[in-house]
């Protein structure tokens, strides 16, 4: 069985160990820590937010630009 350093304390533990014998951290051999999972979730939320923001901006741009243009033209013509 391969040994890996515990993600919490660095003590060498078996990859199949359920808990670190040194510090007691659960799943010491797991490569993805909770912090990495949270970072992934954060990045995913960021991507979704950017997509929503980008789509919203595109919609507003195409929905209101003709109105704004017409208003500017009207203002220039009428004074
Ligand atoms: Zn440990």
Per DSSP, 17 falls in state -
pLDDT for 52 equals 95
How far is residue 6's CA from residue 67's CA, in Å, rounded to a whole number? 61
| Strand partners for 26 | 19
- Retrieve residue 17's tokens: 């160990």
- The model scores a pTM over 0.85: no
Using an 8 Å Cβ cutoff, are 28 and 18 in contact? Answer: no
Q: What is the pLDDT along the chain (79 residues), one digit of tens a residue?
A: 689 898 889 999 988 888 999 999 888 877 666 777 889 999 999 999 999 999 999 999 999 999 989 999 988 887 6
Q: How far is the CA of 7 from the centre of ligand 1 (A)?
A: 7
Q: How far is the CA of 14 from the centre of ligand 1 (A)?
A: 11
pLDDT for 33 equals 67
How far is residue 51's CA from residue 64's CA, in Å, rounded to a whole number? 20
Q: How far is the CA of 5 from the centre of ligand 1 (A)?
A: 8
Condensed to tens digits (0 to 9), the pLDDT of residues 38-48 reads 899 999 999 99
């Amino acid at each position: 069985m391969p040994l890996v350093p515990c993600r919490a304390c660095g003590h060498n533990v078996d990859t199949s160990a359920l808990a670190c014998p040194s510090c007691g951290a659960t799943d010491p051999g797991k490569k993805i820590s909770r912090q990495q999972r949270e970072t992934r979730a954060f990045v995913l939320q960021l991507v979704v937010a950017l997509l929503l923001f980008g789509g919203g901006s595109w919609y507003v741009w195409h929905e209101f630009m003709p109105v704004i243009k017409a208003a500017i033209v009207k203002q220039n013509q009428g004074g």
